[in-house]
Amino acid sequence: MASHRKPRSRTPGPRTAPVVGITTAALTSIALLSQSATAAPSAPPKPSLEEVQKKVDTLYHQAGVATEKYNSAKERTTKQQKRVGDLLDDVAQRTEKLNKARQELGTFAAAQYRTGAVSDTATLLLADDAQDYFDQDHLMSRLTSRQKKAVDDYQTEQAATTKKRTEAAKSLETLTTSQATLRSTKRDVQQKLGDARELLSKLTAEEKARLAAIEKKKQEAARKKAEELARQQAEAEAKRKAAEEARQKENPGTGSGSGTGAGSGSTGSGYAAKAAKVIDFAESQMGKPYVWGATGPDSYDCSGLTQAAWKAAGISLPRTTWDQVKVGTTVTTANAQPGDLVFFYDDISHVGIYIGDGKMIHAPKPGANVRVESIYYMPIHSVVRPA
């Protein structure tokens, strides 16, 4: 029996067109994604001038720290080289004495051999352990006083020479370590300075001019702080003199006191005379370039300048800022006197010579010359009076 259902009508062929459209869109998206994936990453944004200045200042500061490490390593290396040389000279002299003592023992041994006797001295020279042999009473009783002295001298020189050779070997090891540290810190300084130069070299002429304006603004702010300190010190000095004059009137003939400067009764004419020599020397070095690790006479780093200046006044300072800060008496910034050393940063990596009125002479950084600057140009750590 035939079915009375009507066959379902089918949609004509064009129904497949949307599938083709979707496929085309997908391929286009894949192509775009592929292009995005293979495209080079976008360049990082160019840092602002303030960021460049901060980075350069940080690199110079880090180079200053590395310079003081280099100075310290160089000082240790120099001392160690001298010690090693002295020890080697001492070993050579003791070896010569040891050889003479051995020759004298050999003379005794030869004499005993010619007489046909068993040579105790020869046996001694061939013994593995001389001390055990010396401990035998029968030998000691048969040695003459001269022979015994020769044996004692030989034993003493042998022990002393061995000890000095051991010391020399250890000193050579220490010297090798110091020399490695010296090379490492030198590379560190050079790397920091190279990075700073590279940053600055990428600036345009306009950017360099703007950076110079930022630097000038910083210097101006530091100058105003120095002027304020100078004003405060002048007021303190005026009060000190007024008080001294009042005491003079109340007690005539008591003298004018030895204090000099703002609120400082501890600095007398002796310190002032030395400080004058220090400042005279520092002023004569103005305009000479900063060179890391330099101690003069043609160039200086910061601690090299302070060391040379105080040497001109007859005072020997250590080489590094970290050691110089320990020499003398710490005073407040308000009581700073000409000749005092002003140290900067928490890590004490920079130093200048105070000349009064809130100013100092210092060797600033690579690319700059020895100059006068406000002590507020950098964060102050402490002020020290060396003598």
**Run of H or E residues at 281:** helix 269-284
Q: Is the peptide bond before 7 cis (omega within 30 degrees of 0)?
A: no
- E-strand ranges in the chain read 329-331, 341-344, 350-356, 359-362, 371-374, 380-385
- For residue 341, is it left (φ>0), alpha (ψ between -120 and 50) or beta? beta
Of 314, 313, 307, 316, whose CA–CA distance to 277 is shortest? 313
DSSP letter (8 states) at residue 254 = S
Written as six digits, the tokens of 282 are 């520092």
C-alpha separations of 49 from 56, 192, 201 in Å: 10, 19, 13
Just list the catalytic residues: 302, 350, 362
Q: Are 370 and 300 in contact (CB under 8 A)?
A: yes
Q: How far is CA 19 from the centre of its chain?
A: 75
The total of other beta-carbon atoms located within 10 Å of residue 316's CB is: 9
- As beta bridge partners, residue 356 has 359
Q: Are 210 and 52 in contact (CB under 8 A)?
A: no
The total of other beta-carbon atoms located within 10 Å of residue 247's CB is: 14
Written as six digits, the tokens of 338 are 């000409």
How would you list the strands of the sheet with 371-374, edge to edge?
329-331, 380-385, 341-344, 350-356, 359-362, 371-374
